[in-house]
């Protein structure tokens, strides 16, 4: 009987600690925040009033078009990084990762339509 009560007590304490952690997590990703960033190697730009969904879509599209890493940050310590994986056709696979204070939270992979793609011209050699 003592073992059961002790086990129940441990489970309740574990449950309460998990609930308190979930409540303490900020919800800044749901509301519109200010993001600073852009393509790597370019001057950072300030983007105001965008949610995580909007900034991830913007970053992935920029990464697909430019073929370079795109990164946006908030003052809260959130970092969204979009990396073009591969693809030199009309569609390009882009991987977007969300980080907070150096800890990985999630990764999304999508296929983005590349508007700047041009079909290669075939090489033709004419002999005289």
User: Has residue 127 been placed in a domain?
Assistant: no
User: Has residue 70 been placed in a domain?
Assistant: yes
For residue 32, what are the domain limits?
28-113
CB 106 within 8 A of CB 98: yes
pLDDT number for residue 81: 94
User: Has residue 92 been placed in a domain?
Assistant: yes
> CA 29, CA 52: separation in Å to the nearest integer?
5
pLDDT number for residue 22: 45
Tell me the pLDDT band of 24, cut-offs 50, 70 and 90.
very low
User: Has residue 32 been placed in a domain?
Assistant: yes
Distances 85 to 29, 88, 109 between C-alpha atoms, Å: 25, 10, 9
pLDDT tens, 52-77? Answer: 888 988 998 888 878 889 999 988 88
pLDDT number for residue 42: 85
pLDDT number for residue 120: 56
User: Has residue 74 been placed in a domain?
Assistant: yes
Q: Which of 44, 21, 39 is nearest to 81 (CA)?
A: 39
pLDDT number for residue 2: 74
User: Has residue 36 been placed in a domain?
Assistant: yes
How many domains are contained in the chain?
A: 1
Q: Which of 43, 91, 39, 42 is nearest to 63 (CA)?
A: 39
pLDDT number for residue 3: 75
User: Has residue 118 been placed in a domain?
Assistant: no
> CA 55, CA 59: separation in Å to the nearest integer?
6
């Amino acid at each position: 009987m003592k073992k059961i009560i002790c086990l129940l007590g441990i489970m309740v304490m574990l449950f309460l600690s998990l609930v308190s952690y979930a409540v303490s997590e900020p919800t800044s990703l749901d509301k519109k925040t200010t993001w600073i960033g852009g393509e790597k190697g370019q001057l950072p730009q300030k983007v105001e009033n965008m949610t995580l969904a909007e900034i991830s879509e913007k970053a992935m599209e920029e990464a697909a078009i430019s073929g370079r890493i795109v990164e946006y940050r908030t003052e809260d310590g959130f970092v969204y990084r979009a990396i073009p994986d591969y693809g030199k056709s009309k569609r390009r696979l882009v991987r977007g990762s969300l980080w907070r204070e150096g800890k990985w939270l999630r990764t999304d992979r999508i296929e983005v339509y590349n508007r700047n793609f041009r079909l290669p011209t075939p090489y033709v050699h004419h002999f005289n």
